[in-house]
Structure 1
Amino acid sequence: MLLWKRVHFHNASGLLTRFLPRRSQHHCSADADAVVVTRDLPNRNWRLPLRFCVWVALKFESLVDQHSRNEVSCTLATKEWCSLYWDALQLLKKSGIFVSSESVRALIRTYSYMDLAEEAIQCFDRMSEFNCEPDAHAYNTILKVVLKKDLFVLAFSLYNVMLRSNSLPDDHTYTLLIGGFCKIGNFNAALEMLDDMSKRGVLPDVKTYTAIIYGLCQWKKVDEAFRLFNTMKENGCLPTLRCYNVLIDGFCMNGRTDEALSLLSLLRKDGFALNLQSYRSLINSFIHAKRYSEAYVWYTKMFKRGIVPDVTLYAIMIRGLSEEGRVGEAAKMLDEMIGMGLVPDAYCYNALIKGFCDIGRLDQARSLQLEVSKDEQFHNAYTYTILICGMCRNGMVGEAREIFNQMEKLGCLPSVVTFSALMHGLCKAHRIEEAHLLLHEMEIGRSPSLFFRLSQGSDRVFDSVSLQKKVEQMCEAGEVLNAYKLLKQLAGSGVVPNIITYNILINGFCKTGNINAAIKLFKELQLKGISPDSITYGTLVDGLYRANREDDAFKIREHMLKHGCQPGLSNSNAHMSWLNKKGKVSMAFNLYFEYLKSLPRWDNDSINVLENHFIRGNVKEVIRGLLEMDFKCRDFNLAPYTILITGFCMAKKVDEALAIFSVLGEFNININPTSCVHLIDILCEEGKLDDAVNIFLYTLEKGFMLRPRICTKLLKCLLLSIDKKDYAIDLVDRMQSNGYCLNSHQYDKAMENGYESGCLLHFQDEPKVQGIGMLSCNIWLEH
């Protein structure tokens, strides 16, 4: 046994000596009980350690300060001490001394400190052996354990059991559970629990509010988080620096860095100064936004204020340099942090490995991974995922599969991201069936028999409602440990695919034309309790249109709206694009209006006015109104406008297409080359050559390089026109000066033919002119 390790024996003796002199007569009697319980033990060497355990069991509730309780947990934090503590509890029971809920909680707390969740839950389960019921403190301790393991079903089941017992939840209980609800995105339940607190006379404190603010920020509901922050202040609950940091980090995570910066004045006004966490959030946000120079400015500011970066901040900076392509500087920063005595973690190395992969230096990436993987702590699934992504991106799918197969041999289990990365690579390589088999391998995992039982048997638990009910029944029956084991088995039976995984595979099936397989997979994921997102619907819509199944595409859209998933812009764009190809541009426009009405920041009355303008044919007014609302809501996206330009061109409604082009120009918005090609094409067909030339000159001004087909078509139309030949010669000159590469011999011939045909136009008959004009169009544009 390791009971006699000096450090633990010394700690126990020291704690016993330190606490006992300060105790009252009541507390001294407890020590006397400890002496009585242990005095008859045959081995004297056991008495003091066991006496310490008995004393802790009797007096743990009297240790009111957190530091003392932490010292006790630290001292007991070996399996041998925990085993001895169980012996102490049994001795107390045998001696007829009451064992309280706090006595057992001391051990639960120690198991939690050691990250031994199963032992902690078993300890909680066995409280009934000592005829003691768990109090609020005991429930809080075990709730903290299960929430740390993300076992939300078990946590909420325990809470329901708690309500039916004599233990009333306190502010800490609510804060823990609110944090749990927020973590899974159930904010209605979190806010209901906040109301329930008030009804029960438990006032929320800053920790409770911070838990909800944190959850809202994690789920991209930053505006709601900020409103709650202001409500908290109005209710007289003053924010802490941690609360400010959570809100700053929330704005930063959602790409709203400038709004995060505006919070700094409030922070200083409340008497706080930026700390390392504040700087970390801001610098990370700048790097995510690719505002690298500003990130380095704030990094320098931090140093000037005497704040030393930690490993996490170094990892952020290394990632920023690597993303910017400055991998050499990133490697130097890694050396710098080692020189400061900091030990780089897996995130630092992963950032550098990803940097090498991004610039195509896969050998160096693999070499660095092999070097750091000698240390067991760096066997990190994300490292392998980075390499797999890099190899798939470079067409090395076979090598990626080989690395994937090595992972489990090395004791590194692939995550859902790893599976998704390889599946994406296989789909890109048109190995779609292999990707589909990988999905099954992912789900079955390491326990095929368990997977089969859970998915096929009478004890089916893929239904979240039945799972919640089953776990709650087990908790009520005092089988908390068995409930925990069931949930852990379910989690360990395989890697649960997420919606991203399914989207990759659905997209693969759609791209290969197997739309029925994509729809089957779409139905499967819903049966497994996974909700499709806007990307799932958009991918299916695109696939159905490609398969010429327009009616089914609209059924998918109806399904999406029925299930509360608002169509995103990409989904609406997909519908609009395919409707345009069928000449249904009015329907596409109406679909866009529907999408805009679903946006919370848009005014539906204004959209209705614009719809009426569209019905009356006032396209310019419609586009102008849409752009004004776009900029007012800070929600501008060029894609819908280019789709509408293309649609009007395909429907041969040239005036409407030009109207959109014109209004976009008024707002100084650049049109993309594709829209310009469609416009030039239809304008040439409609004989509106002046407008076609103006569009082409626009492309030259913007530096666009168009394909030879459209350039040749425009020049041909100009040369065949009675009064536009000089335009063609002028355009050829401009094209060459703007970087178009023309064959010099044919360019000279074209110029010569152009001038000749120009002269002949004045004197010769039409057929001969046409012949010379056709000859002059044989210009080869090389680019």
Structure 2
Amino acid sequence: MTPLRRRSTTISYFFSPKLKPPWFSPHSHRSLHSDTSNEILSILETVDPIEHALDRALPYLSPRTVTSVLRQQPDKVLGFRFFLWAWKQEHLRSRACEDLIIGMLVRDDADGLESYWKALDQLRNRRIPIPSEAFRVVIKGFVRSGMAEKAVESFGRMREFDCKPDVFTYNAILYAMIQKQVFLLALAVYNEMLKLNYSPDLISYNILIDGFCKSSKIQDAHKMFDEMTERGLEPNERTYTIIISGLCQANRVDEARRLLNSMKESGCSPDSITYNALLNGYCKLGRIEEAYALIRLSEREGFVLGLCGYSCLIDGLFKAKRYGEAHGWYGKMIVKGVKPDVVLYGIMIRGLSEEGRVKDALNLLNDMSRTGLIPDVYCYGAVLKGLCDMGLLDEARSLHLEISNQDCSPNACTYTILISGMCRNGLAKEAHEIFEEMDKLGCFPSVVTFNSLIHGLCMAGEIEKAHLLFYKMEIGRNPSLFLRLSQGGSRVRDGASLHRDIEKLCESGLILKAYKILIQLADSGVMPDIVTYNTLINGFCKTGNINGALKLFKDMQLKGLSPNSVTYGTLIDGLQRVNKEEDAFAVFDQMVKNGCVPNSSVYKSLMTWSSRRGKNLLAFILWLKYQRDLPGRDKEEIDAIEEDFKKGNLEKAIRGLLEMDFRLKDFDLAPYSILLIGLCQGGRLDEALMIFSVLEEYRVNVTPPSCVNLIHGLCESGKSHLATVIFLYTLEQGFMMRKPGNHLIKCLLCAQDTRHLAFDLTRRIESFGYDLDAYLYQTTKFLLRCHLNKSQEKAVNHR
């Protein structure tokens, strides 16, 4: 029988209900034979519509046949139609078939997607219903291949083909959107599900909760969790693990531990991923003992510490500077036969570098290659940072050049490490050159790169260059600017209006347009963050350009960034520097009104300037105001301390504050130092000496600046003998104070009754191990010689 004759005979079998070809016998194993594929190929070439003919063949087909036909079919459109028919039948689905179709769709050199749309067009024209699975497999394929835009486009076209997505299709597109971090669009799609009465399932909620947790929106994750339970869906192990991991990433490890207990009570058993998430949380916060306790608990429940667990623990130990224990656990791991991967090697290399053992870190980097592992950029970055931290910048630069020779191109992270290292060592110009080199190579700087260089330029006094760099960062990469250009004028779209617009686009079926808007915002590059603004505001304040600082302060708020306590503190300090005390307190009031809780640094700044202006009562009251807002403080006790200060009982007030600090184990020396220095600058030396004495009585080490101010004040008021007592205290504390020491010796030499103290003091300085010849200024040596000669002459004359 010729192929043509056989083809026509086979077709007649399909249209005759009484006849079935022998090769379709359900008792025959020949359905897996290549003949089956050939017969299906014959149908695809000669029958139209193919779907009706294929329905008769359904009981005699297998997933293997479907895959075989797809591989052999030269006409992509027919192949896709066959696939769409087969994919409606669950027993004909297979991973091999799905992978084959995805390959046909995403291959760059093929017109796969266009053929797919043609196949769908043909089905629509023949009024053959198109199942949602037809789109789900496409969406999954594009997501898996990293082509999220095409996935969104495919989802958006479902309405065009009169196909309604089911919950599985919604889950596929939600996953794609969360992966690309377009949370607004994911929420809009979720809301569309609810409006169309599609009930999200547990997978839907897990995807959304995971997205919220990864974007540090824990409260929103909790709301979604509550909404899920209200809809009658019980969380599973995956749900609990996602939230526990999110809480740990947000440093809310105690809440994560309580949730673990709730998880067990609800009947869900934690797995190794859950325990590793919590272990990582404890280690990140340096709570090593609790990490050890968790390991013991997991072992009692039958879990064995694996590579991921060892990595978390060793990383935590290095961060806690418990280097010996970190090396010990690494040794245990090797003995137990657990092989380190690239991640753990990176942790070990970074730990050794931070420990100062950069040479050992370099050796470990070389060992990786010998074990067959290729070091990644993170491993190189760890060594690079270690070299920069030690000031070995030439070696760091050399290693950075070597990275590209190892088929491991330097990225924004390695460039940032090098730029930051240069800036810390005062080489802002060289750092800027590296930044420009980075730009030429097409390596896009991150916000951290910009911040490091802007900070370095500010430290070098190059404020104008820093400001220009800020504008380059903003104009080239600021989403707010894109929004202004897209809307015209100076109108900036806020988050709420953007959310509404995205919702409207989704309702209109313009999913792809909504996606492109959000992606354009995200991919517009690096937007100056709060750290950038704070760095530049600080640079302006330090140079006295308060107007520039205030302009930036207003700009950042217009662009949707909320000032934090660092921003307010920097601006308050800057206003005080230019004697705008009223404006500084007005900014402080605005800070409180806006709900930003002032931290201790803000209060210390206000205290310092008030104290310098002789307003010691105001300075003291400010600190007590800060104390009242702290947890565990007795307000009546604080009121009593304040009353003592107002009545002039300074010693009693200081003792009361010290006792409260020690009792609560929250001692901060700064307020005492600020008051002591302020009293010295105001000429109230007796009160300053009293604070010094009380601090010494309580065995609190007085700071060098406090001692310098006391010595200077006592010398100026003719009490150099008391200044000598303070200076001897500094010697015992190990403070190297050359300038105050020379000044004190000169003052002692000026008065007849204290000259002997000057000579005694030089001997004491020498007894503490100082080279007297190097320690003393030329003028001090000259005065000492003069008075020594006079003393010797008097002694001779007396004889």
TM-score (norm 2): 0.82
Asked if residue 203 in structure 1 is aligned to residue 237 in structure 2, the reply is no
1:181 aligns with 2:212: yes
Structure showing greater radius of gyration is 2
Greater mean alpha carbon deviation, residues 463-472 or residues 605-614: 605-614
- Are the equivalent residues in 1 in contact too, given 2:721–2:748 (CA < 8 A)? no
2: CA distance, partners of 1:27 / 1:581: 95
Distance 1:456 1:514 in 2: 33
Q: Which amino acid aligns with 2:519?
A: K
Question: Which position in structure 1 is the counterpart of 2:83?
Answer: 53
Check conservation: 1:38, 1:51, Cα contact below 8 A: no
Residue identity opposite 1:643 in structure 2: I
Which aligned pairs between 1:387-466 and structure 2 lie closer than 5 A? Answer: 387-445=418-476, 451=482, 453-454=484-485, 457=488, 460-466=491-497
Q: Specify the code of the residue in structure 1 equivalent to 2:485.
A: L
After alignment, is 246-255 or 327-336 more displaced? Answer: 246-255
- Is 1:118 matched up with 2:149? yes
| Residue 555 of structure 1, CA deviation | 1.3
Going from structure 1 to structure 2, the CA distance change for 1:380 and 1:32 (only over 3 Å counts) comes to: same
**2:587 aligned to which of 556, 562, 569:** 556
Partners of 1:645 and 1:657 within 8 A in 2: yes
1:584 aligns with 2:623: no
Correspondence for 1:354 among 385, 393, 397: 385
Question: Which of 160, 169, 174 matches 1:129?
Answer: 160
Q: Is the 8 Å Cα contact of residues 478 and 527 (structure 2) preserved in structure 1?
A: no
Q: Which residue in 2 is equivalent to 1:263? A: 294
Q: What is the one-letter code of the residue matched to 1:750?
A: L
Q: Which residue of 2 aligns with 1:599?
A: 630
Per-residue deviation at 1:759? 11
| Distance verdict in 2 for CA 1:730–1:372, change over 3 Å | same
Is residue 331 of structure 2 the alignment partner of residue 297 of structure 1?
Answer: no
Q: Deviations over 1:185-229 (max 9, x none)?
A: 443333222222222112223332333333333333334434444
Deviates more, 1:687-696 or 1:212-221: 687-696
Does residue 1:145 correspond to 2:176, yes or no?
Answer: yes
Q: CA-atom RMSD, angstroms?
A: 4.0
**How far is 1:664 from its partner?**
3.8
- Say yes or no: does 1:158 pair with 2:158: no
Counterpart CA distance in 2 for 1:465 and 1:459 is 18
Partners of 2:435 and 2:272 lie apart in 1 by 43
- Name the counterpart of 1:3: none
**Alignment map for 1:99-110 (pairs within 5 Å):** 99-110=130-141
User: What is the rounded CA distance, in whole Å, between the counterparts of 2:611 and 2:91 in structure 1?
Assistant: 73
Q: CA deviation at 1:148?
A: 1.4
Aligned equivalent of 1:569: 600
Per-residue deviation, residues 33-71 of structure 1 (Å, max 9, x unmatched): 999999999x954489647733663246996x9x88986
1:610-651 Cα distance to aligned partner (Å, 9 max, x none): 434444555555555545555666544433332232223323
Q: How many residues align?
A: 741
Query: What is the 5 A alignment of 1:281-680?
Result: 281-374=312-405, 378-445=409-476, 451=482, 453-454=484-485, 457=488, 460-600=491-631, 602-619=633-650, 622-624=653-655, 626-627=657-658, 630=661, 635-680=666-711
Report if aligned partners of 1:350, 1:386 keep a CA contact under 8 Å in 2: yes
- Per-residue CA deviations over 1:455-484 (Å, capped at 9, x if unaligned) read 761695542222111111111111111011
Corresponding residue SS for 1:373: helix
Counterpart in the other structure of 2:784: 750
Structure 1 position 718, deviation (Å) = 4.4
Please report how far the alpha carbon of residue 95 of structure 1 lies from its aligned counterpart in structure 2 after TM superposition.
5.3
TM superposition shift of 1:582: 0.8
Partner SS, residue 157 of structure 2:
helix
Alpha-carbon distance in 2 for matches of 1:250, 1:166: 39
Q: 1:554 to 1:39 in 2, by over 3 A?
A: closer
- Greater shift, 711-720 or 575-584, is seen at 711-720
CA distance, structure 2, for counterparts of residue 511 and residue 610 of structure 1: 35
Deviation per CA, 1:238-266: give whole Å up to 9, x if none: 43322222222223323444443443333
Question: 2: distance between equivalents of 1:62 and 1:463?
Answer: 49
> Does 48-57 or 547-556 show the bigger shift?
48-57
Which secondary structure does the structure 1 equivalent of 2:340 belong to? coil
| Residues 82 and 107, structure 1, Cα contact 8 Å, conserved in 2 | no
Q: Residue in 2 aligned with 1:22?
A: none
- CA positional deviation for 1:690: 6.0
Match of 1:273 in 2: 304
Q: Deviations over 1:370-410 (max 9, x none)?
A: 33225675241122222222333344433333332233332
Question: Given the superposition, is the C-alpha separation of residues 749 and 512 from structure 1 closer, same or farther in structure 2, using an over 3 Å criterion?
Answer: closer
Question: Following TM superposition, by how much is the alpha carbon of 1:367 offset from its aligned partner in structure 2, in angstroms?
Answer: 2.9
> Matched residues in 1 for 2:115 and 2:178: separation?
28
Q: Aligned equivalents of 1:740 and 1:390: distance in 2? A: 33
Sequence identity (%): 49
The code of the aligned residue for 1:711 comes to G
8 Å CA contact 2:715, 2:744 repeated in 1: yes
- Quick one: structure 1 residues 425 and 713, their matched pair in 2 at CA, closer, same or farther if it must change by over 3 Å? closer
Contact 1:623 1:660 in 2 (8 A): yes
- Distance in 2, Cα, partners of 1:203 & 1:27: 42
Checking the alignment, whether the CA contact within 8 Å between 1:73 and 1:109 is kept in structure 2 is: no
Mapped to 2, the partners of 1:290 and 1:40 lie a distance apart of 62
Q: State the distance in 2 between where 1:536 and 1:32 align.
A: 69
Residue pair 1:77, 1:114 contacting (<8 A) in 2 also = no
Q: Structure 2 counterpart of 1:352, which letter?
A: V
Rounded to whole Å, the distance in 2 between the matches of 1:145 and 1:652 is 69
| TM-score, length of structure 1 as denominator length | 0.84
- Change in Cα spacing, 1:35 to 1:401, as seen in structure 2 (3 Å) is closer
Separation in 2, partners of 1:91, 1:39: 23
Provide the residue aligned with 1:777 in structure 2: none
1:737 to 730, 743, 767: 767
- Listed one character per residue, the Cα deviations across residues 669-713 of structure 1 (whole Å, up to 9, x for unaligned) are 3222112212233344556666533322221112111132x2244
Cα–Cα, structure 1 residues 496 and 749, in superposed 2: closer, same or farther, change >3 Å?
Answer: closer
Judged with a 3 Å threshold, the aligned counterparts in structure 2 of structure 1 residues 575 and 448 are, in CA distance, closer, same or farther, namely: closer
Could you tell me which amino acid in structure 2 is paired with residue 382 of structure 1?
C
Unaligned runs of 5+ in 2: 1-31, 38-53
- Decide whether aligned partners of structure 1 residues 44 and 232 sit closer, same or farther in structure 2, where only a CA change above 3 A counts: closer
Q: Which sections of structure 1, spanning at least 5 residues, go unmatched?
A: 1-11, 18-24, 765-783
Code of the residue aligned with 2:281 in structure 1: it is: G
Q: 2:744 is matched with which residue: 706, 710, 714? A: 714
> 1:31: how far off?
7.4
The 2-side partners of 1:457 and 1:286 are apart by 53
Q: Per-residue deviation at 1:518?
A: 0.6
Of residues 463-472 and 210-219 in structure 1, the stretch that sits farther from structure 2 once superposed is 210-219
Shift in CA distance, 564/240, structure 1 to aligned 2, threshold 3 Å: farther
Q: Which moved more, 1:635-644 or 1:450-459?
A: 450-459
Distance 1:449 1:590 in 2: 42
Checking the alignment, whether the CA contact within 8 Å between 1:248 and 1:278 is kept in structure 2 is yes
Distance (Å, rounded) in 2 between the aligned partners of 1:361 and 1:39: 62
CA distance in 1, matches of 2:653, 2:481: 59
Deviation track 1:500-555 (CA, whole Å, cap 9, x = no partner) reads 11111111211221110110000000100011111111111111111111111111
Residue aligning to 1:776: none
